[in-house]
Amino acid sequence: MERLRVVGGASLRGSVHVSGAKNSSLKLMAATLLAEGRSSLLDVPAITDVEYMSELLSRLGAEVSRQGTTVTVDVPEKVAHEAPYELVRRLRASICVLGPLLARCGAADVALPGGDAIGSRGLDMHIAGLERLGAHVEVQHGYVVARAPGGLKGAMIGLDFPSVGATENILMAAVLADGETVLDNVAREPEIIDICEMLTNMGAKIDGAGTSTLRVQGVDRLRPVQHTTVPDRIVAGTWAVAALMTRGDVTVTNGRAEHLELVLDKLMAAGAVVETHGQGGFRVAMSGRPRAIDVVTLPYPGFPTDLQPMVVALNALADGTAMITENVYEARFMFVNELARLGADVRIDGHHAVVRGRETLSGAPVIATDIRAGAGLVLAGLVAEGETLVSAVHHIDRGYPDFVGQLNQLGADVTREPDPDRFDD
């Protein structure tokens, strides 16, 4: 087990490059299963979640290799259809092989990933959608067991909530179904547009990417593809908040400002100067203490829940009181108990958090409970007086490639070291 030692006080300055999105790469990797042959994914981030997904695809029979930022997946004619618990439990996103396996093999046994530190994370919409496509789905002995021996058939499907994962799973099943599928109230995240683009280049027929309705005409087969991953808007947003909190001046390259419109607006409301920079980049500069900003998390284009811990940390130091409302996960405020150890004044009432800004925070040992909580705690550590020790850094490694290297390149003082106090998680 390792931890990060964060010495507070530095202003982040300089330029930082953002890689492809974790939450796209993992799904694009799953989508390669839909076509026999060799697909190449470019700009895949060097994070542990990608390693876990590679292991899962290998277990299903694919050959996966990485060269630099390119991941190649060679998919055999016959793929195995069982995603076992020992792999799935490490990576919730492995549930996104369910749709592709069902479409490709007519069968899928995928272990239930279970809940985690941010909420229960149900699968009811994934399952209901696949059933509408004609699959027989049961949960047995901790597995989602799905069968469609006669193939899948297009259908009209409406989601109760624009779930990212359910949209992806049903879409990946529908592209090889017989006939037309109309999928309503779908997620509109840039990662959904990314997978639609990739599937279309594989030969799928999809209309409406980026809107609330996807229309899919099923095709008999897809071909392998080369595809470049959309940049990671959550990593880009993390750098933007870090620049603001540390009263720095950071240019984010390969960070699409248009995917962060609401986030950047909020940072301007807090007092930051935000400018677009060159092609596909932006700059965030800040002097003085931020003003408190209210935030409500919602599916895209609303404020992303994955940046909620960072704005709670920002408000912990801001001038004024902010109300943060979390609408996506019921337990995503858990991490504020750790932030409180740094002196943050946060009161939780259901899915609202009231954050009263303090002039200073003070460094202390804290534990990262998930990827984003970990990043939020590191940002708080950057502005806290003294040293903050962030344990369970493996959570951060799941989503932020070379976080420590990039922080230090911007002038932070962060070191990675063995954690003598923790042996497991």
* Interface contacts to ligand EPU, rule CB under 6 A: 23, 26, 93, 119-126, 161, 163-166, 305-306, 328-329, 371-372, 399
Handedness of CA 163, 299, 84, 76 (dihedral sign): positive
Cα–Cα distance for residue pair 256/268, rounded to 1 Å: 17
Give the residue with the Cβ less far from ligand EPU, 122 or 278.
122
Give the residue with the Cβ less far from ligand EPU, 196 or 272.
196
Closest CA to 377 of 335, 413, 349, 410: 335
List the beta bridge partners of residue 276: 282
For the bound state, the minimum distance from the C-beta of residue 332 to ligand EPU, rounded and expressed in Å, comes to: 8
Cα–Cα distance for residue pair 184/193, rounded to 1 Å: 15
For the bound state, the minimum distance from the C-beta of residue 159 to ligand EPU, rounded and expressed in Å, comes to: 8
What DSSP line would sit under 5-36, residue for residue?
A: EEETTPPPEEEEE--B-HHHHHHHHHHGGGSS
Specify binding-site residues.
Answer: 22-23, 92, 306, 328
3-state secondary structure (DSSP) of residue 257: helix
For the bound state, the minimum distance from the C-beta of residue 305 to ligand EPU, rounded and expressed in Å, comes to: 5
Catalytic residue among 74, 116, 178, 184: 116
Give the residue with the Cβ less far from ligand EPU, 11 or 369.
369
Cα–Cα distance for residue pair 363/213, rounded to 1 Å: 47
For the bound state, the minimum distance from the C-beta of residue 323 to ligand EPU, rounded and expressed in Å, comes to: 20
Specify binding-site residues for UDP-N-acetyl-alpha-D-glucosamine.
Answer: 92, 306, 328
Beta strand pairing call for 37-42 and 63-67: unpaired
Give the residue with the Cβ less far from ligand EPU, 249 or 397.
397
Q: Which residue is nearest to ligand EPU (CB)?
A: 165
Q: Is 116 a catalytic residue?
A: yes
Cα–Cα distance for residue pair 192/171, rounded to 1 Å: 10
For the bound state, the minimum distance from the C-beta of residue 392 to ligand EPU, rounded and expressed in Å, comes to: 14
Q: What number of other Cβ atoms are within 10 A of residue 145's Cβ? A: 16
Specify binding-site residues for phosphoenolpyruvate.
Answer: 22-23
Give the residue with the Cβ less far from ligand EPU, 211 or 360.
211
Please answer whether residues 340 and 267 qualify as being in contact, where contact means their C-beta atoms are separated by less than 8 angstroms: no
Active site residues: 116
